[in-house]
Structure 1
């Protein structure tokens, strides 16, 4: 997984270096369009595989389950792609800012089925607990995308269109590989038991409500991450400025911060099974201890990562990118701040899952989306793109505060150290000086007090570090 993310990072770095700022903006909008349209098109049906596939697999209804969900997704995909093709001018105007991009929209309409069924296949194998297949498919897609980007941008024109084509081609490779794995997996499994014909009706009654909630959650998450771009496309006050140029600058500012947010997502997914086990066994204090430790760990990693990125930013944006993204460098501190807050928020939401109130997270994201849009609408008129980024920071801070309040009301005692790390992360938004000061203060507290790390854990960590240094 680390290698896969490293490949994706260097591919992003290469693409930004090769393309102009406005072309980077086109690629950013095209990619976000695919990420929004793919789950919306199929009503979140593949997202329900993790919950329902094991049930129908146990009863011998796996093939019928696959055929019915596949047919439904095919019909929905055809209808959606046809609509996008026919409404290309409208989509181009409101999503890309001009009808001149209707050709790009039609390319996305053609490629959308590939993205949908790439997601379908990975969700299918994940639901069957064949994670080795999922990893191989995703790794192959990531590697092919990186190679195709380098090759196409060198052999053909340097444009966002070829990055889009490379991405769609890599998803197609992933789908073909998934089909091969499906054929192998089908040959090795036992003969399927006879299916009950009543399954046709009962399956959809159980699956659709769950899938719709997944669909709503995905839509809110994607809209939340897309809101700032749409504010720039539709409400930027200066019509003489190329909005895609601004989005390209913003895209480069988010490359490094999004890595920090992915750390929070990985920590949340890894820690959830342990939290759930402790909760089900009645060890609420153990859950609280794990939660505080996870929030502190993710917060300190994000804080240290933010300081490191800010220190090397002049080299990255100046020497390597030749001062092409100076505005992106100026937006970097706020982007690092809101992505770090988002990472902590993702980890904290695990407690909401433990108390079985997962629907609350969707409500928080919806409220955060509203805050993002309303504050961004007013700030973009006064501050331009800086106002849009500031509104995103405010929205993430609102969501984290709301999650904290609910967790505290349901018995989670949040350590003072978590709040101190959060304050230090807020300092990142002001630039490298305050970020470095906050980092040094947290480091001092880690070494000289028990506010961040208690004495027992500190002694254990120092002992492990000393042992590793001796072995090396």
Structure 2
């Protein structure tokens, strides 16, 4: 990895912890591979396989992570556990793609690579730029907290922990909305390409109305029970995160509706 000390300072405010930086690099590679296979499977309308991949990733990470922590493992090992869980979760999608590849019909026309790239590259570049900007925006808040909190890396990391504790439940709404969007997109695209534009608009309107209602009720129920959860499960160590949670719910509910 290039410049591990600089990345360690940027991510953790610790330039001398190269092991942790390399573990993060392995985790990034693993999640990129997982997302690639997951998105490809979702685009083929293999909803069950895509859901299975997410389930396997969650269960595998829970088992590996809890097992590692029980043995007294450190943060680097926990990150590597997530990387291994992501690679394990690729197996259902990879097996489905490999099984379906042999059954694909062969095209009788000659493959025109330049024509394909001329059509594909503008869309791909635009999508990459959009993802880059959205990810930078998503990550900027925690890095601003880490680097601009006075008191050194311990205080900065503690402030980030408070911030994340207030986002535990709101982020779940974003994950659920992302999963729903991935499931709906192939069907919306099929209706759009078939000329059923009104059906697409009607379906989107109904989905947005349902999500608004369900997410708002879910947020209200969570805020009602959150004080008890933070007091008993988290032992009142994240009071600042609890105070942040209502604002986080508002932000993530609105962000979920524009995904």
Instruction: Confirm whether residue 152 of structure 1 aligns to residue 68 of structure 2.
Output: yes
Partner residue, 2:76: 161
Within the candidate set 107, 130, 141, 1:217 is matched to 130
Matches within 5 A, 1:361-372: none
Structure 1 stretches of 4+ moved >6 Å:
none
Partner residue, 1:170: 85
Contact 1:275/1:287 (<8 A) preserved: no
In 2: Cα distance, 1:223 partner to 1:251 partner: 17
Partner residue, 1:114: 30
1:268–1:124 Cα change, 3 Å: closer
Alpha-carbon offset, residue 228 of structure 1: 0.7
Matches within 5 A, 1:20-419: 85-157=1-73, 159-187=74-102, 189=103, 192-193=106-107, 196=110, 198-199=112-113, 201-239=114-152, 242-266=155-179, 268=181, 273=187, 277=191, 280-281=195-196, 283=198, 287=201, 291=205, 293-346=206-259
Higher deviation after alignment, 299-308 or 273-282:
273-282
1:225–1:140 Cα change, 3 Å: same
1:309–1:205 Cα change, 3 Å: same
In 2: Cα distance, 1:122 partner to 1:240 partner: 36
1:136–1:294 Cα change, 3 Å: closer
Contact 1:267/1:298 (<8 A) preserved: no
Residues 96-133 of structure 1: CA deviation (Å, up to 9, x unaligned): 22203332111222343332222222233334443333
**TM-score, normalised to structure 2's length?**
0.82
1:263–1:179 Cα change, 3 Å: closer
In 2: Cα distance, 1:126 partner to 1:309 partner: 30
Residues 136-175 of structure 1: CA deviation (Å, up to 9, x unaligned): 3332222211211121111232x32232111101112123
In 1: Cα distance, 2:49 partner to 2:134 partner: 26
Partner residue, 1:460: none
Contact 1:89/1:99 (<8 A) preserved: yes
Matches within 5 A, 1:434-445: none
In 1: Cα distance, 2:26 partner to 2:100 partner: 29
> Match of 2:17, SS?
helix
The structure having more radius of gyration, on CA atoms, is 1
In 2: Cα distance, 1:116 partner to 1:240 partner: 28
Give the total of aligned pairs: 257
**TM-score, normalised to structure 1's length?**
0.48
Residues 352-386 of structure 1: CA deviation (Å, up to 9, x unaligned): xxxxxxxxxxxxxxxxxxxxxxxxxxxxxxxxxxx
Gaps of 5+ in 2: none
Gaps of 5+ in 1: 1-84, 347-472
Alpha-carbon offset, residue 275 of structure 1: 9.9
> Match of 2:110, SS?
coil
